[in-house]
Chain A
Amino acid sequence: MKKIAIIGAGPAGIEAASVLAKYGAQVVLFEKSETPLKNLQDKAFLFPNFQSAQEIADDLNSKLLTDGITTAFGVDINDVKWHRTEWKLTDSKGQTYVSDAVLLTTGYQVFDARRKEELGYGIYKGVITSLDMERMIKHEKILNANGDVPKRVTFLQCVGSRDEKSGNNYCSKLCCVTAVKQAIEVKKQLPKCEVSVFYMDLRMWGQGFEEMYRTAQEKYDVSFVRGRISEAAATFDSRIQLKSEDTLMGVPLKMTTDLLVLMVGMEASPGTNTLGKSCDISGEYGFIRTISPHLYDNETGKPGLFAAGSCKRPMTVWDTINDARSAAFAIIDYLNTLP
């Protein structure tokens, strides 16, 4: 029986493992954390249907029970090399593992908002990231720096995405709709709260996204302001003073908010960066490079080495799941060519 190593137990890794196992492969699923689905666990609801992230996580976790899957959590694979007839994986403790094929599902990390120092993340308590807001929504505890219910919440798009200063010229793809989703969630939990979203342009590309955007304005009275925030600073009463420009109105804008939510983009995770370099398949911005985004988007050009999910580029959960299934079938095709 052929052995397959999957590195990263996020949605992509688990989904691919379950498909491969169903088709009779022997899969070892490596994960450097002690538990799977680390990024998904931080989410409350997923757009555009507001499905509980926990439900999706439960479904994915149940797939880990499929016969043929062995989990190796708490194992940090940091080197992958082709060795004569098989792939050799080495973990941070120097232990080695072998397999006939390897699937990288090492995923993403969110942009470290401290790098946009003018926005004061890590300095002012009232400045939080979309990840922090997601946790607040999940636990139904949306509170300002003083521990009070906020009267005004402001979102800022494109923090660490489409931003030459931070070195990330690409669009992270999910932040626009995530801000709309979170703005609606804030209004659902705090109907009296004033909610604004500052944007460059809103990229409502997916099914149901445009409708969510309209609903946010029509039903939940969320304001959308076209402009970047240039500076955030704390006020005497621990609120956040913002400076911006409303580029549609053509006027400078100064306002105070209780919470400034930075919509942080997606970057290649440290594991993606390390293994991309180790396998010589590191592409732009540290994401994994595949042969072609059209026909061979799971193949890396190295026989038996595949990639799926957000280790390649920013991706939604559903795109990730579909991509993982696609990778599983590409691997099965590859294994069938082996003697």
Chain B
Amino acid sequence: MSNRYWNEYQKVIADDHYFYERSCIRQTFFPGSETAFLRIMKEELGKDVFDDFRQHTCTGIGYHSDIVPLETTMTVVARLFSLMTEHGYENYVPSCVTSFGVFTEMVHLWEENPELLEKTRENLYKACKREFDIPKNLVHPSDLIYKFRFELAEKMKYRLVNRFTGKPLNVVEHIGCHYAKIFPEKGVGKAEFPYVLAGMIEAWGGKVVDYPERRHCCGFGFRQYLIQENRGYSISNTKKKLKSMEPYEPDFIVTNCPGCTIFMDRWQYTIAEMEHKTYDREGYGIPVLTYEEMTGMLLGYDPWELGLQIHQVQSERLLDKIGIPYDPKQKYKAASGKILRAPKKPDNLLV
């Protein structure tokens, strides 16, 4: 298998000075990821990234579930852009891949339909007396980590290499649909063979696993999951992917979408409970990380501060393979310093 065409399509990613927008759900699911991103950008790369406490939802889940009308989404997006404008920034980087898709779509709609832009300006002004500029550069944080992957590689303490065998780790990467499937030209490598995560993996010593269902849905899909009756679709999609990647013995999965990370991680528990089946040899499951967690882990950040323990599939075996130290006693230490009780162990998925 050759990767030679994967990186042919690149996109414009500004060097510096970004307005950062946090995600509704990522802070709950992966509480260390956004903090890690800001630390990487500011401390490792010396970049200017502004994190405004007044930010709010982009309406993404509501918009894609047909609960929030288009005009409302446009106005909410406009308010977020107005915060960027107020602080003098021109580059916008939303944490969530669905936010990235929503912003890209709204900007596209405004470009194609100037009357919608005027209406949005009017709505925003009526609602909160604010004005906004459209960002000059709109990127996803994974684009930035990708752009600076070689600079980061020089600062990394660890590589994606199995220290026992000396071989590259097998890494499955999965891109959120809203990263490149709506507007392929907005994603590094486009939609079919995106390179944004593959580029990181290769730059940091790992091997990208290309398996038959690589481009298949992760199992999220808003309508598959948000409506309870459809959740069978969700888990069957995830199962299809896990089954397809199993022969390649991946060491972990990395994604750039909150939905993908959650579903490929949590459904492993459910499948283990339902069918007594895991997709690794030993019964521990395949760890699923965010790209910030992967980057922070290799930079030597504390795994528990990154929030790796919050995932369903636990990552100690992966940390051992790479040679990253961790303190088991600190695994469930709260921000207050109190050591919390360990969660109950699943019946079938080993932890």
Question: Which residues in A have some Cβ–Cβ distance to B below 8 Å?
Answer: 114, 117-118, 122-124, 231, 233-236, 241
Residues of chain A within 8 A (CB-CB) of B212 are 233-236, 241
Instruction: Name B4's contact: one of A117, A122, A235, A236 (CB within 8 Å).
Output: A122
Asked if residues B193 and A236 are in contact (CB atoms below 8 Å), the reply is no
Is the CB–CB distance between B215 and A231 below 8 Å?
Answer: yes
Given the interface contacts A122-B5, A123-B2, A124-B1, does A234 sit within 8 Å of B192 by beta carbon?
no
- Given A117-B190, A123-B193, A233-B210 contact (CB < 8 Å): yes
Beta-carbon contact of A123 and B248 below 8 Å = no
User: Chain A interface mostly helix, strand, loop or mixed?
Assistant: mixed
Hey, which bits of chain B sit against chain A, CB under 8 A? Answer: 1-6, 190, 192-193, 210-215, 247-248
Contact present for B213 and A233 (CB under 8 Å): yes
Q: Which residue of A lies closest to B192 (CB)?
A: A117
CB neighbours (8 Å) of B248 from chain A are 236
Q: Show 20 residue pairs from A and B whose CB-CB distance is below 8 angstroms, ordered by the A residue.
A: A117-B5, A117-B190, A118-B192, A118-B215, A122-B4, A122-B5, A123-B2, A123-B3, A123-B6, A124-B1, A231-B215, A233-B210, A233-B213, A233-B214, A233-B215, A234-B212, A236-B211, A236-B247, A236-B248, A241-B212
Question: Chain B nearest CB: distance from A147 CB in Å?
Answer: 16
Are B1's CB and A123's CB within 8 A?
A: yes
A149 vs chain B, min Cβ distance (A): 22
Give the distance in Å from the alpha carbon of A241 to the alpha carbon of B211 in the complex. Answer: 10
**Closest Cβ neighbor of A121 among chain B residues:** B5
CA distance A233 to B215 in the complex (A): 9
CB nearest neighbor in A for B214 = A233
Q: Is A123 touching B215 in the complex (CB atoms < 8 A)? A: no
- Tell me the complex Cα distance, A117–B1, Å: 14
Q: Which residues of A contact B2 (CB under 8 A)?
A: 122-123
Q: Which residues of A contact B5 (CB under 8 A)?
A: 114, 117, 122-123
Chain B residue at smallest Cβ distance from A254? B212
A-B pairs under 8 A by CB, number = 34
In the complex, are the beta carbons of A234 and B1 less than 8 A apart?
yes
Q: Which residues of A contact B190 (CB under 8 A)?
A: 117
**Residue of A whose beta carbon sits closest to that of B9:** A117
Bound CA span A26–B237, Å: 69
Report Cα–Cα, A234/B209, bound state, in Å.
11
Residues of A within 8 Å of B215, CB to CB, are: 118, 231, 233
Give the most central of B1, B3, B247, B248: most A CB within 10 Å: B1
Complex CA gap A234/B210 in Å reads 8
Closest 9 CB pairs of A and B: A241-B212, A117-B192, A233-B212, A236-B247, A118-B192, A235-B212, A122-B5, A123-B2, A234-B1
**Are the C-beta atoms of B213 and A117 separated by less than 8 Å?**
no
Residues of A within 8 A of B192 (CB): 117-118
A165 to B133, CA, bound (A): 32
Residues of B within 8 A of A117 (CB): 5, 190, 192-193
A236 and B248 CA atoms in complex are apart in Å by 7
| Interface core residue of A114, A122, A236 (most chain B CB under 10 Å) | A236
Chain B contacts for A118, CB-based, 8 A:
192, 215
- How far is B211's CA from A231's CA once the two chains are assembled, in angstroms? 13
Per the bound structure, the CA–CA distance linking A122 and B192 in Å amounts to: 13
Which residues of chain A come closer than 8 Å to B213, judged between CB atoms?
Answer: 233
Please measure, in the bound complex, the distance between the C-alpha atom of A73 and the C-alpha atom of B2, giving whole angstroms: 36
Contacts of A231 in B (CB 8 A): 215
- Which residues of the other chain, A, contact B210 by a CB distance below 8 angstroms? 233-234
Known contacts A114-B5, A123-B1, A233-B211, then 12 further A-B pairs from the complex at CB < 8 Å, ordered by chain A residue? A117-B5, A117-B190, A118-B192, A122-B5, A123-B3, A231-B215, A233-B214, A233-B215, A234-B1, A235-B212, A236-B247, A236-B248
